[in-house]
Amino acid sequence: MASLNITSLLKHIDELRVFLNDQNIDVLAINETRLNESISDQDVKVQGYDIIRRDRSTNGRFGGGVCFYIRSNISYSVRTDLDSQLLEIISIEIRKHNSKPFVITSWYRPPNSPHELFAHVNTLLGKLDSENVEHFLLGDLNCDMQSKDNANVKALLNITDIYGLEQLINEPTRITPTTSTLIDLIFTNRAENVYCSGVSHVAIVITV
């Protein structure tokens, strides 16, 4: 599985199609899709993958948005019971033959989000913890893990520590000529099941 902030899915769909054709990725979570109802699933289709999306539309303000590309031969269901009106999240449950199901949640946390949103993340993780299910929380959380004294980082780590989650990414994920931050994260409660993790430098040119 992988996570990518694409800053407009439609703008980069051709590059994404080439990327997924060349990579062995079963589940790709995308943040900042910036889709709306005028853009159909067919417009952003990738051969061999299903797309599950949740667009943002708040008081007529578009942007943000999350989605999953899931390889079409994978059995899954959308966990709408984990949705939140205040969080830009989407959750899926993967079912594999002779294996226990596991849940993947993609969360896009916009910069300067209200601190109170972490309480809703706590509720989400509490639900998953009560199910005793393997799960992953990944996405662009805009919490720089290199700044441990930051209030948002502290709030996130306080919650993830409660539920015994481990953060798998340990190198910067957003690098500019003047900054280097670790804001694209993957948390899991079953780190022992992860064979390898890290940052892949993809050939998708993203401008903000």
Domain ranges of the chain: 2-193
Domain 2-193: CATH architecture, name and number where available:
4-Layer Sandwich (3.60)
Residue 171 is encoded by which pair of tokens?
């190198």
| CA–CA gap between residue 207 and residue 37 (Å, rounded) | 24
Using a 10 angstrom Cβ sphere, with 0-12 exposed, 13-18 middle and 19 or more buried, the burial of residue 73 is: exposed
Q: Quote the pLDDT of residue 69.
A: 98
Is pTM beyond 0.85? Reply is yes
In tens, the pLDDT along 130-175 reads 999 999 999 999 999 999 899 999 999 999 999 999 999 999 998 8
| CA–CA gap between residue 169 and residue 148 (Å, rounded) | 15
How many CB atoms are closer than 10 A to CB 175? Answer: 12
| CA–CA gap between residue 98 and residue 95 (Å, rounded) | 9
